[in-house]
């Protein structure tokens, strides 16, 4: 398959002034350079759905910003759809869609429909094909009833559905998503993930997303690039990563009396607090519902929370594993 | 070019509709601005009733200056309202989304907002110019050119001030203060500015090119006054575009405070 994105030794360093203590030192700050991306190499083929994951400050968003033409790198090369993003930004913009989870490309006070119409002018789209694409997307994303509602009155999940629709209206072959599910509830996250996966699959679209949420990666992407401190730690298929690192859940039981005590394969007790028992479950060995059923049978359970392990832990495991081998 | 104009018109029209959307708020803001303008004008009417002239300036001159200033602020606010909070917009990192789209950044930033109070300025300008400025119909072409040139300089200077946000986070309020100072300088008779203050009024805070030079062209039309007005518009326009794009280059290198 042909490469849609080719990245060679791409790096980005930020220089900033760090204030030192004392009155006079404030006038001569120390200049510090941080390597946000430290020479990464990868290729992404047409139709691949790839996640870049990593803890805060790992260089995920910086990489995405360089590949979408926002930022210029400090060094290295990149080709996106045959263009150099930072030199051919405007030409590239017609071919890519970009969604930032914490930024909006919509006009908050306007109904979504008017924002979409403005985007037609921005991307020089003909009216008829644009209307057809808008109709398909709004139907698939269940936006028909929201089109005449001002964006600022929408829930975060509804707004994000509109943002993703907006990024697809000009029919881009490549979609960049920066934390597309950040701040969303479980149902909204599920809707976004289903849509991205199915739309990309049906249209042969290439997707590159960054996320903190391991479920985004499992449910949307077929390949994962793990970055830490600006470097690629692991680059492998999601299935492979899932088998090794993504099959864990953290279950917290709140109880009035004694904590929960279970003896099941793959279930380990973490540091627990008074009336709260935190268990780590390897779901390949014991399913979540089995753990909950056993705990309920034990009696005294008042509340249960199921979470994915924090991304920092997943990265630490991957990092430890790759350095041990 | 036509596509760019159509896009600007579509965005600007959307921004104007947004400013109308809360009708109560719109009416209060416009009404408040009209009251403010009437109060300011009344002060000058009372002043000239007592003194007749100040440094050769009469009430009709003052009305022309006041009307030009209100026209410039009104047109800028209605059609280029994004200038007002441009520094804050840049510092919030909102340029990222615009950089992933294929159109020019300055028009996108200017057309993102329409300021409701600016309609009050426009209404006041029509009244003041029509009633007090002693203008003839034959002055209309020069008046329209004066307003266009003044608006260009005012918006350009505001873009230049906002571009400071690419270098310093403090530009959020500083840029707005500079724009307000420029407006203040544009609200008094040109004859009171001498020496260093006059230099400032024709350079850093180009009030001279926003209203004083355009006003001179309306009162004394001729090649020299026309050249001065066009010179101001072209130079300040070029400075704004140059400074903004220098700033964008810095932003894209990751060296701006908002990165």
What is the band of A256 on the pLDDT scale with cuts at 50, 70, 90?
Answer: confident
The average pLDDT across B60-79 equals 94
pLDDT digits (tens, 9 = 90+) for B96-148: 999 999 999 999 999 999 999 999 999 999 999 998 889 999 999 999 999 99
pTM listed for this prediction? 0.84
- In chain A, residues with a C-beta closer than 8 Å to the C-beta of B5 are none
Q: Using the structure block, give the residue that is written with the tokens 């009251």.
A: B35
* Long-range contacts of the stretch A291-300 (C-beta < 8 A, 24+): A291/A251, A291/A262, A291/A264, A291/A267, A292/A251, A294/A262, A294/A264, A295/A253, A295/A260, A295/A262, A298/A260, A298/A261, A298/A262, A300/A255, A300/A256, A300/A257, A300/A258
Q: Which of B3, B14, B96 sits opposite A114 (nearest CB)?
A: B14
The average pLDDT across B235-250 equals 96
In this prediction, residue B71 carries a pLDDT of 96
pLDDT digits (tens, 9 = 90+) for A10-44: 999 988 777 766 776 767 777 788 889 999 999 99
In this prediction, residue B231 carries a pLDDT of 95
Residue B18 CB-density burial (10 A; 0-12 exposed, 13-18 middle, 19+ buried): buried
Q: Of A228-232, B64-68, B148-152, B153-157, which range is least confident?
A: A228-232
pLDDT digits (tens, 9 = 90+) for A214-252: 788 888 999 999 888 889 988 989 888 777 777 788 888
| Average pLDDT in chain A | 87
State the nearest Cα–Cα gap between B241 and chain A, in angstroms: 18
Paired tokens of B177: 């203060």
Residue among A70, A63, A58, A62 nearest A44 (CA):
A63
The average pLDDT across B233-249 equals 96
Cα separation, B188 vs B211, in Å, equals 10
Cα separation, B79 vs B112, in Å, equals 9
Asked whether residue B56 carries a pLDDT value surpassing 90, the answer given is no
Asked whether residue A1 carries a pLDDT value surpassing 70, the answer given is no
Q: Which residue of A has its CA nearest to B98?
A: A105
> Is A122 in Cβ contact with B101 (below 8 Å)?
yes
What is the band of A323 on the pLDDT scale with cuts at 50, 70, 90?
Answer: low
- In chain B, residues with a C-beta closer than 8 Å to the C-beta of A109 are 18, 21
In this prediction, residue B74 carries a pLDDT of 95
What is the band of A113 on the pLDDT scale with cuts at 50, 70, 90?
Answer: very high
Backbone angles phi, psi at A244, to 5 degrees: -90, -35
The average pLDDT across A281-293 equals 88
Asked whether residue B50 carries a pLDDT value surpassing 70, the answer given is yes
In this prediction, residue B235 carries a pLDDT of 96
In this prediction, residue A325 carries a pLDDT of 52
Mutation pick from B89, B94, B100 vs chain A, by most beta carbons of A within 10 Å, is B100
Q: Which of A15, A70, A114 sits opposite B100 (nearest CB)?
A: A70
> Is B14 in Cβ contact with A107 (below 8 Å)?
yes
Quick one: DSSP state of residue A260?
Answer: P
Cα separation, A127 vs A133, in Å, equals 10
Asked whether residue A322 carries a pLDDT value surpassing 70, the answer given is no
The average pLDDT across A176-203 equals 89
In this prediction, residue A75 carries a pLDDT of 94
The average pLDDT across B43-70 equals 86
What is the band of B259 on the pLDDT scale with cuts at 50, 70, 90?
Answer: low
State the nearest Cα–Cα gap between B211 and chain A, in angstroms: 33
pLDDT digits (tens, 9 = 90+) for B175-203: 888 998 888 888 888 777 788 888 887 78
Paired tokens of A254: 């709140």
The average pLDDT across A244-262 equals 79
How large a percentage of chain A has pLDDT more than 90? 41
pLDDT digits (tens, 9 = 90+) for B203-231: 888 888 999 999 999 999 899 999 999 99
Cα separation, A255 vs A295, in Å, equals 10
pLDDT digits (tens, 9 = 90+) for A40-81: 999 999 999 999 988 888 889 899 999 999 999 999 999 999
Are β-strands A231-237 and A267-269 bridged in parallel, bridged antiparallel, or unpaired?
unpaired
Cα separation, B157 vs A123, in Å, equals 29
The alpha carbon torsion through A43, A45, A46, A49 (nearest 10 deg) reads: -90
Q: Are B123 and B34 in contact (CB under 8 A)?
A: yes
Paired tokens of A295: 């705990």
The average pLDDT across A318-323 equals 70
Compute the count of residue pairs across chains A and B with CB atoms less than 8 Å apart: 75
What is the band of B26 on the pLDDT scale with cuts at 50, 70, 90?
Answer: confident
- Bridge partners, A83 (sequence order): A80
Q: Are A52 and A27 in contact (CB under 8 A)?
A: no
Asked whether residue B258 carries a pLDDT value surpassing 70, the answer given is no
Residue A231 CB-density burial (10 A; 0-12 exposed, 13-18 middle, 19+ buried): middle
The average pLDDT across A168-181 equals 92
For chain A, which residues lie within 8 Å of any Cβ of chain B, measuring from their own Cβ? Answer: 12, 14-15, 62, 65, 68-72, 86, 89-91, 93-94, 96, 98, 100, 103-105, 107, 109-110, 114, 117-118, 121-124, 150, 176
Paired tokens of A221: 């992407």
> Is A68 in Cβ contact with B252 (below 8 Å)?
no
> Is A70 in Cβ contact with B252 (below 8 Å)?
yes
């Amino acid at each position: 398959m042909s490469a849609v994105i080719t990245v060679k030794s791409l790096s980005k360093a930020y220089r900033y002034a760090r204030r030192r203590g004392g009155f006079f030192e404030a006038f001569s700050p120390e200049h510090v350079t941080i390597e946000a991306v430290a020479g990464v190499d990868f290729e992404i083929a047409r139709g691949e759905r790839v996640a870049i994951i990593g803890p805060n400050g790992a260089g995920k968003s910086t990489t995405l910003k360089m590949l979408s033409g926002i930022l210029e790198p400090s060094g290295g090369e990149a080709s996106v759809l045959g263009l150099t993003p930072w030199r051919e930004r405007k030409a590239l913009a017609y071919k890519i869609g970009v969604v930032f989870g914490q930024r909006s490309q919509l006009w908050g006070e306007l109904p979504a429909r008017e924002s979409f119409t403005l985007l037609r002018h921005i991307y020089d789209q003909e009216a008829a094909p644009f209307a057809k694409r808008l109709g398909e997307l709004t139907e698939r994303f269940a936006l028909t009833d929201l089109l005449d509602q001002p964006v600022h009155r929408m829930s975060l999940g509804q707004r994000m559905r509109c943002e993703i629709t907006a990024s697809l209206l000009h029919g881009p072959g490549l979609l960049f998503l920066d934390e597309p599910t950040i701040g969303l509830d479980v149902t909204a996250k599920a809707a976004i993930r289903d849509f991205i996966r199915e739309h990309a699959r049906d249209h042969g679209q290439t997707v590159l997303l960054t996320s903190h949420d391991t479920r985004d990666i499992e449910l949307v992407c077929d390949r994962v690039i793990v970055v830490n401190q600006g470097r690629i730690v692991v680059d492998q298929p999601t299935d492979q990563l899932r088998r090794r690192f993504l099959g864990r859940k953290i279950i917290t039981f709140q109880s009035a009396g004694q904590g929960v005590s279970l003896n099941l394969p793959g279930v380990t007790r973490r540091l627990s607090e008074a009336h709260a028992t935190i268990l780590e479950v390897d779901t390949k060995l014991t399913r979540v519902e089995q753990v909950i059923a056993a705990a309920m049978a034990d009696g005294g359970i008042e509340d249960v929370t199921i979470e994915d392990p924090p991304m920092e832990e997943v990265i630490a495991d991957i990092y430890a594993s790759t350095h041990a081998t | 070019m036509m596509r760019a104009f159509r896009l600007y018109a579509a965005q600007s029209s959307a921004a104007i509709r947004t400013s109308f959307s809360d009708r109560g708020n719109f009416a209060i803001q416009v009404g408040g601005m009209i009251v403010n303008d009437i109060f300011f004008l009344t002060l000058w009417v009372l002043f000239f009733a007592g003194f007749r002239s100040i440094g050769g300036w009469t009430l009709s001159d003052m009305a022309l200056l006041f009307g030009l200033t209100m026209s410039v602020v009104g047109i800028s606010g209605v059609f280029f309202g994004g200038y007002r909070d441009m520094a804050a917009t840049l510092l919030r990192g909102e340029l990222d989304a615009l950089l992933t789209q294929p159109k020019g950044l300055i028009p996108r930033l200017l057309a993102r907002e329409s300021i409701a109070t600016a309609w009050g300025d426009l209404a006041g300008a029509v009244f003041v110019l029509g009633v007090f400025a002693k203008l003839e119909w034959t002055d209309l072409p020069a008046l329209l050119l004066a307003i266009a040139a003044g608006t260009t300089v005012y918006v350009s200077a505001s873009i230049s001030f906002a571009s400071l946000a690419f270098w310093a986070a403090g530009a959020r309020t500083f840029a707005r203060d500079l724009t307000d100072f420029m407006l203040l300088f544009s609200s008094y008779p040109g004859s009171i500015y001498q020496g260093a203050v006059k230099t400032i009024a024709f350079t850093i805070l180009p009030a001279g090119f926003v209203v004083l030079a355009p006003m001179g062209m309306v009162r004394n039309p001729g090649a020299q006054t026309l050249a001065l007005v066009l010179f101001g518009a072209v130079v300040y326009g070029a400075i704004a575009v140059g400074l903004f794009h220098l700033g964008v280059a810095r932003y894209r290198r990751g060296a701006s405070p908002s990165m």
